[in-house]
Structures are given as C-alpha cells and as structure tokens.
A and B are shown apart, each in its own frame.
Chain A
Amino acid sequence: MATLSKARVIALLCAAAAVLSTSGCGWGRTVAEKDALDANSTTATSAKSSCVDTSGDTIKIGFVNSLSGTMAISEQTVSDSLHMAVDEINANGGVLGKQLKVVQQDGKSEPAVFAEKAKTLIEKECVAAVFGGWTSSSRKAMLPVFEADNALLFYPLQYEGMESSPNIFYSGAAPNQQIVPALDYLKEKGYKKLFLVGSDYVFPQTANRVVKAYAAGNGMEVVGEEYTPMGSTDFTTIVNKLKFSGADAVVNTLNGDSNVAFFKEYKASGLKADTVPVISMSIAEEEVSAIGVDNVKGQLTAWNYYQTLDSAENKKFVKDFKAKYGENRPTSDPMESAYTSVYLWKGMVEKAKSFDVDKVKAAADGVTFDAPEGKVTVDGENHHIYKTSYIGEIGDDKLIHTVWQSDGPIKPDPYLKTYDWAKSLSASSESNE
C-alpha cells in the first residue's frame, strides 16, 4: 500500500520532469546547423552530421552520471574520477592543443533520463564524446541515441556482455575478463560445487547463464541458484538452502544493501570463508565499508583493479584522488575504468588527429594506455579493451588484496565466442540480435 502510493507519486514526478526537460532539449536546430546538414545531405555517409565546434581552443565533452536517486552513491564516485582525468589532461596541455570543457548531466538513476540527457549532450551541447552510465538499463536506454546520432559513449562498468555497439566503447570488463577468470580460479583451487546467489535483474541472470555453461563444460556442478528481489533483506531461507546444498563455493552477484543482510546471515549461520568461500562480482572497496568489513573479511572478489595494486601508475592515481577528494575516499574498479576511458579517448583522438567520430572510431584499434590497473589496449573490432583480471581477498584494512592474476591482459570477448563450453550461449545470443 504505502510503497504503491509512493511509487505512483514518484512516477508522476518523473513523468513531469521528463516532459519539462524534453521541451527544452535540442529540438530547435540553428540555421547554421541546418545549412551544414543540407550541405552534407548530398554526400551523407552517417545518419546525422555532428554539430561539434572544433574552431576554438576548447572542446566540449559530456558526462552523464546519476547525481541523484538510488544510484547516486555509486555514480558520484565515477563522476569524480572522470573530472580528475579531465583536470589532469587540461593541466598537461589538453587534447590536440585544446582544453577540455566538461558538461555534466544528471541521469537521476532513471534510464529514460539518461537517454534524454545523452540526446541533450549530443544535439544541444554538441559534445565530442560522452562518458558515463552505470546500470545496464541506462546503457541500453542510451544506445539507440548514440547510434542514431553517430556519437560516442564511453561506458565504464563491468557488465554482462552480449553487446557490441559501434558507437560505444566499453572500458569495463567483458564477462571473459571477470566472470570467467573467477571461475578459472575456483576450478584451480579445486572447488566443484557452486551455489549461485544474485539480485533478480539482468546482470546476475546473464552472468549465471555463463557460470552454468562454464560449470557444465569444466566438470563443476551448480547445486543451487537463487535470486532475491532488489533490496531484499531476508536471507534465512537462501542461507538454509546454501547450507544443505553441499556447495563448496558461492558465486555472488547480489548488489547493494542485499549484500549486508546476506553476509550477516551467512556468518550467523556458522558458514566461514575458509570452508565455503563467497566470490563476489559487485563488491568493490566502496561497498566493503558499507557492508561492514567484519562481515566480509576473507571473502573473495573478481575485478580488474584494486586500490592496493602495486604499480607506479596506481600509486599516483590513488594519491592524487585522495588529495583531490579526501583521505578517506577509496578508489575502486568502476572509478579507475572511467578515469582510464578519458585517456583512451584522448589517445584515439590524437591518433586520428581529429575529433570526428568516424575518424576516432577508425583510429581506435590498438590505442593503449598505462592505466592504474596495468596496460590496457583497445580492441577496434568489438570496442572493448584488453584488461588484466585480478582475484582479490578482502582484508581487515577494508581494502582488497590480490591473490591471483591473469597472465597479462585478456583479449575481450563479449560474446564468449572463443570458448568451447560457451558455444550454446553465443549461438543463442546471436540469434537474438
């Protein structure tokens, strides 16, 4: 009752906000832009010509992150590290001699708002590239906008894969750079019976399809698969099922608050990290503090970056971030990936010697950057990047310490085409395209 009425009120407010913002957004093109369009229409190659102004000594880029709503806690950190990358680049002479000017938009934790703001950034603000998005639904909502306007989006999160848009660069992990290494690690350590627990939405369900295919092809067994509604805090039954399933490891794709209730219940029921370890896909440094380090210490995570990585690039990144935003702020994978994506775009633009979207895309293949996570390279074919995978253990110090890492950067494979056990997966996803 109560939440129903709340949901209704919120929906109304959102609708009102959407209507208001549409009326002010990018529908009236200027005469100059229309002329440019007409001039182009005879030799039209792409859907629409861009209105990016490259004449001055500054160039605009756009950020779209949720600065309000439920995702704000997470996405604010991504916005912070994006801003840090831009400040660094500007201090070192900008891109092709031009200073970057950031236009920040608030995605308000609503996929529809993300799409609207992306359109504003491309068509009204005329930015050269857009950085941001977090949830898969926000990315899916923005994708058609970027493809229709032939613009560029840099998306920083690890995600479920099965996507490769010509207008998106994915700087987070593809499934074969996070989920598969996590399973390789469990296999190497001799774990055979997996219990899967996740929140009931797209990432956990798709990730678990990969886990099940992997298990079937690698002599492992999935002894339980449980999903809870988003924000669910009752895990007694699931932990009961876990205890009686005979599982020797847990693959956890729960997100947000649910992790707290799950790990408290796990601990209170007598389960321990050294007997039935939990490997989590969505717990980074930020979340460890929120969950309470007592509840998760000794548990495993799978990412492509930890604050504790021992490299000169990372030490500088961590030091600069703390100097800029506060000593108690941790750095995490999505933040590092967002930071890196700005540098990758810079590398592509400099290689193309142009801000033009088609030229930047053509130049993308092979662009590298010595990122805090290690060397990353853009794969021009699927627009993902080569990344090193790290399995980490959560320590008493609220940080995550590497216990295993892949042999160098892994080639991105969003459709898992190169794995025999994943044949059925990639076949079914391609027929869906």
Chain B
Amino acid sequence: MDMLFPQIVAGLSNGSILLLAALGLSLTFGQMGVINNAHGEFMMAGAYTAYVMSTLIGNKTVALIVALVVGFAVSGLLGLLLDVALLERMRMRPLDTLLVTFGVSLVLQQLARDIFGATPVYASAPEALTNPVTVFGYSFSAGRLFIFILSIVCVAALYAVLKLTPLGRQIRATSENRDLAEVSGISTRTVDHVTFFLGSGIAGIAGVALSLLNSISFNFGTTFIVQAFLVVVAGGVGQLKGAVIASFVLGLCQSAIELPTSASIGQVAVFLIVVVFLQFRPQGLVSIRSRNLA
C-alpha cells in the first residue's frame, strides 16, 4: 500500500527520537553504571531552555540554535552538580543511585512547576520546521527531519569524542576497568564528572529538539525515560553502536506494529519484544568482551 513509505519514514523518525533520548543515558548508565532517573528531567530542563529562548529572542531560528547550545550547558551543569554533590558518594552502588536520582527527579519536577507553573507551555519553532517538506510526492514533517539529522550529528560527535580524543580514551578506559585506569594515572574522578556532564548535556539537546514536537510541562521527561532505558538495555550497556541499532529497530518495529493495530498495542509490543529478546541475550545486542570482573 501507499502508506508503506511514509510509515518507514515514521519509524526512522521515531528511532531518531529514541536515540536522542537514550544517547546521554548510554554514557551515564552505560559507561558509569549510574541509573539516572533524573535523565528525563535533564531533558525537561533543555525543553524549558528552548521555551525561555523562544520568548527572549525574536528570530526563532536564532532562538533554536542558541537554545541547543544553552540547553546543553544548562542540563550538563545540572548533571555535573548532581554528580559532584551526590553520585560521587555512591560509585558502583547502582541501586542507591536509582533511589537518589528518583528523588532528584521529583525535586526538579516540583522546581519546574514552581518556576514555570503547572500549565504546559510551548516553544514557538522556526516557521520552516512546522511546515511539511515534500519528498517523492509525500509530505513529511520538517521538524522530524531536523530531529533525525540532529540525532545523527550527535552520535557522530559523541563517537568522535570517544574514539579520537584523549578524553574519550580515558572515558573508555575508566568504564572498561576502573582500577586499571586509576593505576595508569587517570583521574577517574575527573573523568566521571566530565562523562556525566556530557551525558546530561546531550539530554538537554534532546529536550530542546523534542520541544519542537510537544508541549513542555514538568512531566516532559517522564514520557521518554522508560523507552530510553529500554534502548540502552536492549542495545547492550555501554555500547554506542548498540544504542543506535536498538533505537532504530525499536522505532521501526513500533511503526510497523502500530499500522495494522493501534498505538496502545504498538507500545506494548515494543516492550514485549525487548523482554523476550533479553531472555535470549541478556547482555544486549552488542556486548564487549572484557576481563573486568565487575
């Protein structure tokens, strides 16, 4: 049927949204083992940044670009603060981080309610991104196209940082074998802070981008957090490649299942697929052979 092509595009678009939401987590959860429940609230901080910028700056295109930069910084700094103030004291105690970050997420949600009110707001997007673009006679959302490109750019940038820079080497070394990294002269403390800053900052970028599709309220992040964890777990903890594959596979699966059934069933099916998949491959899609005993 004619719907096939737009539906594939929809699936890719959903995948790119999942990827943006999960990318930061794959750093903080994957590399550092922190179960960060406040990740969604860092996205919310990014989304509210987009809102503030769109009210401060008249030119919406400039506002969006500024918001991407400022959103990265705001959420990154929030993450850094969380890491320095709390998480540093509970390294390698993932269950404790789960509870502590849950508390932090509630605090941040209440803070957002107090600052911006309980009524949802929206960031007015650049005109070009709210209109359709036509490809092969089909019209698609320009906003979604932008998010797709942004997610690819983010993955490429993160990949480059991890693979090509000394910092990236230190991050990978720390996540693979913390003790060995430490005796090799790497300050794992600093590396952890930087990793958490990066991961949270990417959540901020995701928040700015997703504010194009959605209204912004204090529970903005809760919509995405579960699926983001799903992607990271299914992709293989700590694996960028895995997260990329998992998000697009899940995005496409959801669109494919939703087409003949309904949105509710589509969502449930994605969970089922991941649950069943993890029974057979608990380590996720991509796993790393490591001599790390942890």
Q: Which of B118, B131, B212, B266 contacts A237 (CB 8 A)?
A: B266
B37 touches A2 (CB 8 A): yes
Among B37, B219, B262, the one with the most A-chain Cβ atoms within 10 Å of its Cβ is B262
Query: How many residues of A are counted as interface, with CB atoms below 8 angstroms from the partner's CB atoms?
Result: 39
A5 touches B102 (CB 8 A): yes
B217 touches A268 (CB 8 A): no
- How would residues 59 to 92 of chain A score, 1 for a CB under 8 Å from any chain B CB and 0 otherwise? 0000000000000110000000000000000000
Could you tell me the distance between the alpha carbons of A291 and B124 in the complex, rounded to whole angstroms? Answer: 11
Query: How many residues of B are counted as interface, with CB atoms below 8 angstroms from the partner's CB atoms?
Result: 49
| Among B75-83, B141-149, B190-198, B241-249, the stretch in contact with A | B141-149
- How would residues 1 to 32 of chain A score, 1 for a CB under 8 Å from any chain B CB and 0 otherwise? 11111100100000000000000000000000
Determine if B214 is an interface residue (Cβ-Cβ < 8 Å).
Answer: yes
Determine if A261 is an interface residue (Cβ-Cβ < 8 Å).
Answer: yes
A240 touches B119 (CB 8 A): no
| Chain A residues, Cβ within 8 Å of B130 | 264, 267-268, 294
Determine if A200 is an interface residue (Cβ-Cβ < 8 Å).
Answer: yes
Closest-CB distance, A284 to chain B (whole angstroms): 13
| Chain B residues, Cβ within 8 Å of A267 | 130-131
B258 touches A237 (CB 8 A): yes
Q: How many A-B residue pairs have CB under 8 A?
A: 118
A228 touches B7 (CB 8 A): no
| Chain B residues, Cβ within 8 Å of A9 | 102
Determine if B26 is an interface residue (Cβ-Cβ < 8 Å).
Answer: no
| Chain A residues, Cβ within 8 Å of B6 | 240, 243
- How would residues 244 to 260 of chain B score, 1 for a CB under 8 Å from any chain A CB and 0 otherwise? 00000000001100110
B122 touches A290 (CB 8 A): yes
A-B contact list, 30 entries, CB within 8 Å: A2-B40, A2-B229, A3-B226, A5-B37, A5-B102, A226-B263, A231-B223, A232-B267, A233-B223, A234-B14, A234-B17, A234-B263, A236-B141, A238-B263, A240-B6, A240-B7, A240-B10, A241-B3, A241-B259, A244-B1, A257-B217, A260-B120, A260-B214, A261-B213, A264-B212, A268-B143, A268-B144, A270-B134, A292-B122, A292-B124
Q: List the interface of chain A (C-beta within 8 A of B).
A: 1-6, 9, 72-73, 200, 226-229, 231-234, 236-238, 240-241, 243-244, 257, 260-261, 264-265, 267-270, 289-292, 294
Q: List the interface of chain B (C-beta within 8 A of A).
A: 1-3, 6-7, 10, 13-14, 17, 37, 40, 98, 102, 118-122, 124, 130-132, 134, 139-144, 212-215, 217, 219, 222-223, 225-226, 229, 254-255, 258-259, 262-264, 266-267
